[in-house]
Structure 1
Amino acid sequence: MAPKLRGLSAKPPPLSVAGPDATLPFHHRSPRYTPPRSSSSLPSPAGRHPTASRRLSVPHPGARTSSYVTAHHLLMGSVGGDEAVQAEESASGGVDVWSDAVSSYDPDHLLVMVHGILGSNADWQYAANEFVKQLPDDVIVHRSEKNMNTLTLDGVDVMGERLADEVIDVISRKPELTKISFLAHSVGGLASRYAIAKLYRHPNDTFKGETKGSICGLEAMNFITVATPHLGSRGNKQVPLLFGSTAMENVASRVVHWIFRRTGKHLFLTDNDEGEPPLLQRMAEDYGDLYFISALCAFKRRVAYANADCDHIVGWRTSSIRRNTELPKWEESISEKYPHIVHEEYSEEFDDETCQNSAADCDSDILEGQFR
């Protein structure tokens, strides 16, 4: 059963883990809303279909998705003067963040945060601090550093290999870990998908009686992307900055590698390594010894956040995995429990046969059918 990563938002919501059978266990602090304390067991209400994925829409369409702190503060000890949060550079090159609160046990849930193209681990600094303050006994955050700045131009596969090695190193140094989640922005979401395909272990290699595999031996909990071009950037209005001009989009697909190198080729589906299909097309299924879809299926919750408007680089279709006609109509349905969420929708269940039959012929839909 192939999962569907879905989401639609106009601004980064309080960073929430959402999905089938899920509460919203992770939040960052908002001036309008104080989230409840959540336990590490991540309890689940009944009545949700286990193969559905959750889609959330949030207000403020003028805001940007990547509105996180960008100043680079690599501090040993307390972070930014906050004595409740500790951070240190790990041997793998990233930054580990945890709570300084006195506890009788170590956190067992690893959250890997991955930045986007030309970004750095400082992009996630504020969010990482908020996570460990909200869940001091439950989570340790690792802000990835293996693909910073121009290293993000080396290609999605190379980035994914580096990230996988980085995660293996973190896990090897923390034997208390039992769970893992990923939160990634932009191209970091593609690198994370590649990395989990490398880290995936079959069920018979991990826990007896389990029907799902694991990620490097850990229970896979949440896989979340924010403004990630899952379908690439090729096609009409996939890059809003090009104003929907077919001529400009055609030129961009031919010259993007001059600026964004191999990553640009991957995003515009122009790579052709040894006669293989484009990488993003291969990533729409288990391919060779890389278990792209099986790894996603291993996670209990899969969420994709997208900007409905005002994101000039990543269009809403590619980041929420929708066709051009599938933008939901606006519904004024404010949630009493989570007032920042204005629209919530669960995706339909699709089987493998439906996935194969729904592939579209036109370039703009080249990958959209692959995920269905």
Structure 2
Amino acid sequence: MGSLEMEASTETVREEENKKAEIDLNENKLGIKNVKNITTKKKKSKFHFKSKFHFIPKLGCMKLNDEFPAVSEKPDSDGGFDVEAGCNQKNHLIVMVNGIIGSAQNWRYAAKQFVKAYPSDVVVHCSESNSSMLTFDGVDVMGTRLADEVISVVAHYPNLQKISFVGHSLGGLIARYAVARLYQQDLSGKPGKENGECERESNRSFAEEKSKDKIAGLEPVNFITFATPHLGSRGHKQVPVFCGLYSMEKVASRASWLLGRTGKHLFLTDSDDGKPPLLLQMVNDTEDLKFISSLHSFKRRVAYANARFDHLVGWSSSSLRRRNELPKRRNLQKHAKYPHIFNEVVSETDKPQEVHLEAKIARGKTSEMEEEMMRSLTRLSWDRIDVNFGGSIQRFLAHNTIQVKTYCINSAGADVIQHMIENFVL
């Protein structure tokens, strides 16, 4: 009798185990099927740029990776993406812009660090409207594309109040053009006539006047560039790889067409409709675009520059200083907290007389054009951060390392990104 009961119990256990195994098998099959479906969807979602107006972000969130589980990524239809902590609404938009032949992925590391540091405040948009070969189309065309993209992104985040830009290399010039496109002066608070009198313009405080300026309808806060050729790349030792040799610089200038309209803009060889080179136009307000006023509207402007080993952008151009104003490299002192930051100069607040001053645009000699750009851009205050990757094997990739373009080969720049984040104005 006991033997029969034991056999029955054993048979019951076997049946339960068989059922469990069957359930596990079905779940595994279902999991494999789901993975295949997800993979298929990812392949189908690959985007090829067709129109500058296709910037409608998807509203769903997906996990970015397991390293920062609270960070989510919202892909755009144009191939870019927004990075934020969860799907809650934030009030500060950070637009990150890639350089020549780059993409949104170039800012992926920095974007995640931003959201990790300020999970409740920021949403980071890594732009993709100017990627790969599209970066040869010219600063003006790319700046307009970026402006259109920003307008679309802002429309999908109704709680936004502030905006900041971060650009690497050519991306800094693209951002400068875009903010001029997006610049608006809010006149809603302008005093009207009362009792036959109106308040004089000069009586209004400088701070009040500046606070009315908007970029894409938002309050502009930080404008940050990394290794950006603010003065262009035309001779005068602005491209270190040419070793300051006039013959090489001259050949490069004549071959600028190889980079399309962008090359002409960088080497100051463009003269559309008889106008001065675009980069010269971009250092003054024009009738249509307020290049200086839009830059001035930001609370803070920052220029990160490689003091050594950047073969593409000169230290003078990226830090907006004349060569005789650059500190001696041997006198640079390493920052105690950030090992690759060797010098930090924080400018004083802008003064009213530094704004909207007219200047005659010079043409012809490289030195004259460079001086005009320098004089106009430095009417505004800039925080200058000098970076040196000396001692690291990644110094030979300094131009990309300062941005941490790819973490596995540019990780030395992580402290520079951290410096930017910790000094960021919310």
Name the TM tier (shorter chain). 0.7 to 0.9
Q: Output the amino acid matched with 1:364.
A: S
Match for residue 65 of structure 2?
A: 80
> Could you tell me how far apart the structure 2 residues matched to 1:337 and 1:248 are?
40
Contact 1:223–1:301 (Cα < 8 Å) also in 2: yes
> Could you tell me how far apart the structure 1 residues matched to 2:217 and 2:78 are?
19
The 3-state SS of whatever aligns with 2:316 is: helix
Contact 2:304–2:319 (Cα < 8 Å) also in 1: yes
Match for residue 127 of structure 1?
A: 110
After TM superposition, the score normalised by the length of structure 1 is 0.73
List per-residue Cα deviations over 1:291-322 (Å, max 9, x = no partner). Answer: 11000111000001111110001111111112
Match for residue 307 of structure 1?
A: 306
Report the Cα offset of residue 329 of structure 1: 2.7
Contact 2:224–2:302 (Cα < 8 Å) also in 1: yes
Gap change, CA 1:278 and 1:360, over 3 Å in 2: closer
Contact 2:296–2:355 (Cα < 8 Å) also in 1: no
Residue 200 (structure 1) aligned to one of 165, 169, 183 = 183
Contact 1:281–1:370 (Cα < 8 Å) also in 2: no
Identical columns (%): 51
> Could you tell me how far apart the structure 2 residues matched to 1:233 and 1:124 are?
23
Q: Which has the larger radius of gyration?
A: 2
Contact 1:206–1:217 (Cα < 8 Å) also in 2: no
Q: Output the amino acid matched with 1:211.
A: E
Residue 89 (structure 2) aligned to one of 106, 110, 115 = 106
Report the Cα offset of residue 277 of structure 1: 0.6
> Could you tell me how far apart the structure 1 residues matched to 2:233 and 2:284 are?
19
Contact 1:121–1:145 (Cα < 8 Å) also in 2: yes
The 3-state SS of whatever aligns with 1:183 is: strand
> Could you tell me how far apart the structure 1 residues matched to 2:189 and 2:167 are?
25
Gap change, CA 1:365 and 1:313, over 3 Å in 2: farther
1:293-372 correspondence runs (5 A): 293-330=292-329, 331=331, 333=333, 341-347=341-347, 351=354, 356=359, 362-366=365-369, 367-372=373-378
Give unpaired runs (5+ residues) of structure 2. Answer: 1-59, 192-203, 379-426
Contact 1:85–1:129 (Cα < 8 Å) also in 2: yes
1:64-79 correspondence runs (5 A): 77-79=62-64
Report the Cα offset of residue 342 of structure 1: 3.4
Match for residue 141 of structure 1?
A: 124
2:80 is the counterpart of 1:94: yes
The number of aligned residues is 294
> Could you tell me how far apart the structure 2 residues matched to 1:359 and 1:351 are?
20
Contact 1:323–1:365 (Cα < 8 Å) also in 2: no
List per-residue Cα deviations over 1:308-340 (Å, max 9, x = no partner). Answer: 110001111111112221211354555567666
Contact 1:119–1:148 (Cα < 8 Å) also in 2: yes
Report the Cα offset of residue 357 of structure 1: 8.7
Q: Output the amino acid matched with 2:286.
A: Y
Match for residue 165 of structure 1?
A: 148
Gap change, CA 1:334 and 1:92, over 3 Å in 2: same
Match for residue 262 of structure 2?
A: 263
Contact 2:292–2:356 (Cα < 8 Å) also in 1: no
- The higher relative CO (CA closer than 8 Å, separation ≥ 6) is in 1
Contact 1:234–1:268 (Cα < 8 Å) also in 2: yes
Report the Cα offset of residue 241 of structure 1: 0.7
> Could you tell me how far apart the structure 1 residues matched to 2:189 and 2:272 are?
33
Gap change, CA 1:128 and 1:154, over 3 Å in 2: same
Q: Output the amino acid matched with 2:311.
A: H
Residue 191 (structure 1) aligned to one of 167, 174, 178 = 174
List per-residue Cα deviations over 1:162-203 (Å, max 9, x = no partner). Answer: 000000000011100000000110001000000000000013
Gap change, CA 1:352 and 1:359, over 3 Å in 2: farther
After TM superposition, the score normalised by the length of structure 2 is 0.64
The 3-state SS of whatever aligns with 1:310 is: coil
Match for residue 27 of structure 1?
A: none
Match for residue 58 of structure 1?
A: none
Report the Cα offset of residue 81 of structure 1: 2.8
Report the Cα offset of residue 369 of structure 1: 3.0
